[in-house]
Structure 1
Amino acid sequence: MSTPQDTPETSAPSETLQRDGLPLVSVVIPVRNEEGFIARTLDQILAQDYPAESMEIIVADGMSDDRTRDILAEYAERYPQVRMVDNPERITPVGLNVAIAAARGEIITRIDGHCEVAGDFIRCNIELLDEHPEAWVTGGPIVHAGKNAFGEAVAVAMSHPAGVGMATHRFPDYEGYVEGAQFPTFRRWVFDRIGMFDERLVRNQDDELNYRITQAGGKCFVSPRVRYVYYVRGRIGQLFRQYFQYSFWRIPVMKKHKRPTTPRQVMPLLFYFAVVVMAILGIVLRNPWVALALPAVYLATLGAIGLSQIPRKGLRVALLVPVAIAVMHLAYALGMLYGFWASAFRRRAWDPRGSMSALTR
């Protein structure tokens, strides 16, 4: 799989950008304890082919207790367009809001530490906003990558309809309108119109914002011209915790808007509910075929998906793809089930300082 560094050359600037003045772009980055990644992230942004005088970088640090703050201070001293602001609450939505409040640009671009962006990432987003004036947000479809065999399997699972449903923004070659972009570029007035990130949502604050944009009539356009790579979790436990937390934090979003933001969010839980019902029915009827029908179809489908990946990924990764998809589905179902239970019996489970708010990396 290619990464931005592997890409032979960046695209040529559009005639519009060559002709017109360029908007000031504010790149906002929420971080905490990212000493191993933040320098690389900043270097990639500073190396963009977008003019330095038309760009600023605002890093919201969540009171890191490693060397992250020292590294940020060094970059701020060397590069006038780099600034650090404090995120005393240490959670992503607060960091994003603090950074956006400090931003001066008419365009806001969000980037995280665990990704690699192409050298024309910012410019291509600006071109898309110019070409699609009806779009409030632009970005690129997610290109997933793994650093070990299981990570490669997770990357396949996260870009396959069986793994993520029809989340078209996760299909690497997709161009068109989507529900949201992973690392989006916003017109600044979007936040004036619909509000900032919901600081009560330690997870899924981006999905909830995307939903508000859609409900307000906004659109998000993605194109593979905007290139970046997102590195997925490389261990089963990490993947399980990630999807368990994602699903768990769907519950406050559902309660806020009185509905799921997309129907596919409830599908894993409904599937496992159907499995349990069929199992009970099979026991009552003393018919094992009734009990085993859904699991058999499910496992056969996952097996077929895995086999289809052998030519592209090799046997080892292909055998792990069904495991990755199954872990994602199970974790998502259990996370939502726990969320429904917690909403009735343990409402403090959504405490920003609690275990369900801890980072899953």
Structure 2
Amino acid sequence: MLSVIVPIYNEEKYIAKCIDSILEQDFPKDELEIILADGMSQDCTREIVAKYTAKYPFISLIDNPKRIAPWAMNLAVKEAKGDVIMRLDAHAIYEKNYFSALVRALKVYDADNVGAVCRTDVLNKTPKTLAIREVLSNKFGVGNSTFRTGISGVQEVETVPFGCWKREVFEKYGMYDVRLVRNQDIELNKRIIRGGGRIVIVPDTYCTYFARENYHELAKNNYGNGKWNILTVYYTKEMRSLSVRHFVPLAFVLSLIVPILVGVFWWPTLCVSVLALCVYLLALGSVSAKLAVSKRLSFFYLLASFSVLHISYGWGSLVGILKLLFTK
């Protein structure tokens, strides 16, 4: 039995596509259960899901009154009947062999968690959204995030998007940390690795994640990611809960702000901010120009997309530090 868990909240734009891709899986339906854990959605999500639960007995909806993903996962894992647990995201669709490939890989590689590459796409394709899509798949945008940038073969990695585990993994390493609004997946994966477990990513299948399509939503999402990097380290008391790449945007933002603040008292430090900005703009322009030519994308939208991603992420991390310093 495979139990597939999907935490959801206000997903009316995406949930039907997600469930349809689940129904197209080549995995036997009599060995499958789908649990949608809803954070009390206020849009049409529950109505859309109700149409599927009425038609397909292996799809069920449970309530997640706490509204955040780790609570949804823990509630659903306890509810699940399967000896293999898989997490999905409602913002994504999944190749027809996604379930079968990951369940098979779990056995073949004797791993504690397996996953696949998560390709980025957008629902509405415009010059701006295509630039955002490219930025979220590019190393200059997301660092060495293997599951975003792609793989050529089976690899052991520090994390995978979502996950596919044997049920006993949760008994051995613990459940999701309910204090974490973000980063709960990578924190669990890091905990597995620290406990001697193995996480494997395979090239046999993939999912497609639908990104935010405007700069406001892109900035809001990455601001939250950046802030929760700091709060994740604080709550877990473990720097190894994350990776170096998660703190690079913070270093960039600090390289701009700190010299300016010090420059009020000693103006030569302003040169550090100027140098950091010049180096960044040079790298930004170079990467954007190459992508604009090779991928036939808008140079200016690429510039804007990279900048919004990096600055909102770094600013979120800085706010996370200030939150810890000046609030209880």
Question: Normalising by structure 2, what TM-score?
Answer: 0.90
CA contact (8 A) 1:248 1:339 kept: yes
The 4+ residue runs of structure 1 with deviation greater than 6 A are: none
Shift of 1:271: 2.4
The verdict on how the C-alpha distance between 1:124 and 1:164 changes in structure 2, with shifts beyond 3 A counting, is same
**Deviation per CA, 1:227-284, whole angstroms, max 9, x where unpaired?**
1111111111111111111111122211123325212222222223233455657995
CA contact (8 A) 2:259 2:270 kept: no
- Residue 127 of structure 2 is matched in structure 1 by 149
Which of 140, 144, 148 lines up with 1:162 in the alignment?
140
- Residue 291 of structure 2 is matched in structure 1 by 309
- Residue 241 of structure 1 is matched in structure 2 by 220
Secondary structure at the aligned position of 1:342 is classed as helix
Secondary structure at the aligned position of 1:223 is classed as strand
Which of 202, 206, 216 lines up with 1:223 in the alignment?
202
Q: 2: distance between equivalents of 1:167 and 1:150?
A: 23
Q: 1: distance between equivalents of 2:293 and 2:248?
A: 30
Matched, 1:197 2:207: no
**Aligned AA (1:305):** V
Alignment size in residue pairs: 322
The verdict on how the C-alpha distance between 1:161 and 1:95 changes in structure 2, with shifts beyond 3 A counting, is same
RMSD (Å), alpha carbons? 2.2
**Deviation per CA, 1:40-92, whole angstroms, max 9, x where unpaired?**
22221111111111111011122223333233333222212111111111222
- Residue 89 of structure 1 is matched in structure 2 by 66
CA contact (8 A) 1:282 1:289 kept: no
The verdict on how the C-alpha distance between 1:307 and 1:198 changes in structure 2, with shifts beyond 3 A counting, is same
Secondary structure at the aligned position of 1:139 is classed as strand
Shift of 1:111: 1.0
Greater shift, 38-47 or 169-178, is seen at 169-178
- Residue 136 of structure 1 is matched in structure 2 by 112
Matched, 1:342 2:319: no
CA contact (8 A) 1:197 1:209 kept: yes
- Residue 102 of structure 1 is matched in structure 2 by 79
Shift of 1:168: 1.6
**Deviation per CA, 1:4-57, whole angstroms, max 9, x where unpaired?**
xxxxxxxxxxxxxxxxxxxx1111011122233323222211111111111110
The verdict on how the C-alpha distance between 1:283 and 1:297 changes in structure 2, with shifts beyond 3 A counting, is farther
- Residue 121 of structure 1 is matched in structure 2 by 98
CA contact (8 A) 2:10 2:41 kept: yes
The verdict on how the C-alpha distance between 1:290 and 1:228 changes in structure 2, with shifts beyond 3 A counting, is closer
CA contact (8 A) 1:144 1:231 kept: yes
Secondary structure at the aligned position of 1:201 is classed as coil
Q: 2: distance between equivalents of 1:248 and 1:287?
A: 27
Greater shift, 220-229 or 172-181, is seen at 172-181
Matched, 1:172 2:154: no
Shift of 1:115: 0.8
CA contact (8 A) 2:101 2:205 kept: yes
CA contact (8 A) 2:14 2:90 kept: yes
Shift of 1:113: 1.3
Matched, 1:325 2:306: yes
CA contact (8 A) 1:27 1:111 kept: yes
Q: 2: distance between equivalents of 1:198 and 1:149?
A: 39
**Aligned AA (1:93):** P
Shift of 1:290: 5.5
Q: 2: distance between equivalents of 1:203 and 1:153?
A: 25
**Deviation per CA, 1:192-221, whole angstroms, max 9, x where unpaired?**
111111111112211211221121122221
Structure 1: tracts of 5 or more residues without a match: 1-23, 348-361
The verdict on how the C-alpha distance between 1:50 and 1:297 changes in structure 2, with shifts beyond 3 A counting, is same
- Residue 250 of structure 2 is matched in structure 1 by 269
**Deviation per CA, 1:163-202, whole angstroms, max 9, x where unpaired?**
1222222212354122211132112111111111111111
The verdict on how the C-alpha distance between 1:251 and 1:321 changes in structure 2, with shifts beyond 3 A counting, is same
**Deviation per CA, 1:290-324, whole angstroms, max 9, x where unpaired?**
653221121111111111112443142x4322322
- Residue 36 of structure 1 is matched in structure 2 by 13
The verdict on how the C-alpha distance between 1:285 and 1:181 changes in structure 2, with shifts beyond 3 A counting, is same
Q: 1: distance between equivalents of 2:35 and 2:269?
A: 62
